[in-house]
Structure 1
Amino acid sequence: MPIYAYRFGLGWLFGSRLLLLNHVGRVSGKRRRTVLEVVEHDTRDGSYVVASGWGAGASWYRNVVQQPQVMIQVGRQTIPAVAITLPNDEGADVFAEYAARHRMLARHLLPRLMGFSVDGSEADFREVGRRLPFVRFVPRTGSGQ
């Protein structure tokens, strides 16, 4: 459903909570679109971090690992970006911070959807974050756009 909102120019309704990822299929070479929840936004460099809740086997994740030059849309802004996978320890930090901001969601809903069991401690959230693949979308600058 959110993809249709973006298609009709209504992505601004999601603010910076969701982003539309435009990427290339690694097998088909066709353009693909996926809506993802923003886990972190770094205002210093304009980057956005998302998690692959379905693991490293998710198609969008495998696509951006193979072809990291992507376009993301956040709100009304379309941004050429490079997808960079995060090391496990950085993913642990990101997820612990996310869990602190969204305690109910992180403690009750997300673990069930992703197949994790958590007790609600920061250490537990860090362990989940170590197991999830995270991607940082960094805006491209210069003539390489």
Structure 2
Amino acid sequence: MCRRRFLARLPIPLFRRGLGWVFGGRLLLLHHTDRVTGLDRRHAVRARFLTSDDGAEIMARYARRRPRTAQHLCASMELPSKGTDAAFREAGRAIPFVRLDAAPGYRVR
């Protein structure tokens, strides 16, 4: 295993032992099932909260691409779902969006 990959995977055993607090809330252990192999996967990712304006823009863009899904999403969270760009922006301001980035040493495929 190359040194960079080793360093990138180093946080995983620390998270498993309950020592995630060492990273000061900057890293998140993402545990998921690989969609191809079905195997359990764990990745340390950087997590940061986005501003409400960023959330508004993200939701408006999403609603343009998938209007029905965006309306269902808003309705399930009891947010305004009138179907207008302004309503989706308002909903996006109310949703706490989080950006997940690959931790140092990982590359996104």
TM-based fold match above 0.5: yes
Structure 2: stretches of 5+ with no match in the other structure:
1-14
Structure 1: stretches of 5+ with no match in the other structure:
1-23, 32-65
> Equivalents in 2 of 1:78, 1:100: separation in Å?
32
Deviation for aligned residue 1:79: 3.5
- Which structure has greater helix proportion? 2
Map 1:1-145; keep pairs closer than 5 Å: 29=18, 67-72=25-30, 73=32, 75=35, 78-107=42-71, 109-142=72-105
Q: Which has the larger radius of gyration?
A: 2
Percent identity reads 31
> Equivalents in 2 of 1:78, 1:116: separation in Å?
32
* CA-based RMSD: 2.6
Q: TM-score, normalised by structure 2?
A: 0.60
Deviations 1:9-63, CA, capped at 9 Å, x for gaps = xxxxxxxxxxxxxxx6xxxx599xxxxxxxxxxxxxxxxxxxxxxxxxxxxxxxx
- Which structure has greater strand proportion? 1
Deviations 1:48-88, CA, capped at 9 Å, x for gaps = xxxxxxxxxxxxxxxxxx73312334646753211110011
Q: Retained in 1: the 8 A contact 2:74–2:81? A: yes
Q: TM-score, normalised by structure 1?
A: 0.47
What secondary structure does 1:79 align onto?
strand
